[in-house]
């Protein structure tokens, strides 16, 4: 991936599914396999959270901007949904495997794999920026 990749998708699970498949076969295809896998996991969790929480399954546009920088793949994801509760990113504590949890892994996975996470709420938009180390 030599230049930046920009795309806008509708905020629903099917569009997220198609966008990730497209990125894996397109813009991310030049990355090393482990890096591409990590990017897919983190982007899936970030996008699913926007669909489920920021847009509360009512839909809305999501903008993605990706580029390779020193140290990894920089991702900036923007939506016009509800702000993060208390204006901060969730801590993402790991659910206990023995409890057989069926959810609550999203932010744990994002925080485990992404670096330099930054969240900003401005002009009715959520902007999440992070780096996926190479």
DSSP string, 51-74: IIIISTTS--EEEEEEEEETTEEE
31 token code pair: 């990355």
- How far is residue 49's CA from residue 56's CA, in Å, rounded to a whole number? 9
Nearer to other proteins, 39 or 66 (CB): 39
CA 31 – CA 35 distance, rounded (Å): 6
**Is 44 an interacting residue with respect to other proteins (CB under 8 A)?**
yes
Kindly state whether residue 14 participates in binding other proteins, applying the rule CB under 8 A: yes
Q: Tell me if 100 contacts other proteins by CB under 8 A.
A: yes
Residue of 52, 60, 61, 119 that binds other proteins (CB under 8 A): 52
Give the x-and-dash track for 54-93 against other proteins (CB under 8 A).
----------------------------------------
Is the torsion defined by CA of 56, 35, 73, 7 positive or negative?
Answer: negative
Owner of token pair 């485990």 = 112
Q: Which residues bind other proteins (CB under 8 A)?
A: 13-14, 16-17, 20-21, 24, 33-34, 37-38, 40-41, 44-45, 48, 51-52, 94-95, 97-98, 100-103, 105-106, 108-109, 112-113
């Amino acid at each position: 991936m030599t230049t930046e990749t920009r795309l806008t998708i509708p905020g629903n699970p099917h569009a997220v599914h198609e966008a990730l498949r497209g990125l894996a076969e397109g813009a991310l295809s030049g990355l090393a396999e482990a890096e591409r896998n990590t990017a897919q996991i983190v982007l899936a969790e970030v996008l699913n959270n926007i669909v489920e929480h920021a847009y509360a399954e009512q839909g809305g546009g999501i903008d993605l901007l990706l580029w390779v920088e020193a140290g990894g793949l920089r991702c900036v994801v923007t939506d016009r949904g509800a702000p993060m509760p208390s204006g901060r990113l969730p801590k993402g504590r790991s659910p206990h495997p023995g409890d057989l949890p069926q959810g609550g892994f999203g932010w744990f996975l994002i925080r485990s794999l992404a670096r330099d996470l930054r969240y900003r709420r401005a002009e009715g938009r959520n902007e999440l920026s992070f780096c996926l180390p190479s």
